[in-house]
């Protein structure tokens, strides 16, 4: 198969071919060793990032664990009552039952949670709670 080029110039094809400047590459060509070094550097940086992230993550878990209270709480005094949670009991219901008449139930729940060191209002069967004297009638 023969390809012919049609040109609008009257100059012979060999002359036109010589007039066109050779194309320069747009990007610098890297040698194999430079490419390998840059990939090695990225791998080291990526590994270092992963190690630092791992250390930060698990040191945060360690601090969270150390601030948690391991003791069950202080024992009840003579004017406090200790109750055991039954199935279906809620903190709101218990606070409403044992609070003073003039005390708001929300305040009673807060006092009860603070006295027993509770982070949430969820209770489980068999759990013991100390009813503080300032919420009792």
Tell me the per-residue pLDDT of 16-67, one tens digit each, with 9 for 90 and over: 555 555 666 666 655 555 556 666 777 888 889 999 988 888 777 666 644 4
Count the alpha carbons within 13 Å of 101 in the hemisphere toward its beta carbon.
0
Structure tokens at 78: 């003579």
Summarised one tens digit per residue, pLDDT across range 66-93 is 444 444 567 878 888 899 999 999 999 9
91, 121 Cβ separation under 8 angstroms: yes
Summarised one tens digit per residue, pLDDT across range 108-120 is 999 999 999 888 8
What does the pLDDT read at residue 49? 92
What per-residue string of b and e applies to 18-41 under the rule 16 or more CB within 10 Å gives b? eeeeeeeeeeeeeeeeeeeeeeee
């Amino acid at each position: 198969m023969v390809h012919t080029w049609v040109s609008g110039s009257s100059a012979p094809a060999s002359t036109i071919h010589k007039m066109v400047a050779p194309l320069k590459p747009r990007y610098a060509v890297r040698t194999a060793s430079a490419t390998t070094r840059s990939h090695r550097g990225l791998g080291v940086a990526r590994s270092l990032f992963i190690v630092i992230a791992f250390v930060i993550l698990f040191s945060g878990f360690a601090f969270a664990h150390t601030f948690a209270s391991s003791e069950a709480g202080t024992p009840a005094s003579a004017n406090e009552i200790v109750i055991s949670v039954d199935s279906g009991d809620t903190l709101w219901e218990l606070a409403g039952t044992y609070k003073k008449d003039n005390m708001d139930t929300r305040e009673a729940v807060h006092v009860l949670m603070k006295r027993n060191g509770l982070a949430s209002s969820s209770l489980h069967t068999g759990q013991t709670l100390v009813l503080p004297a300032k919420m009792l009638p």
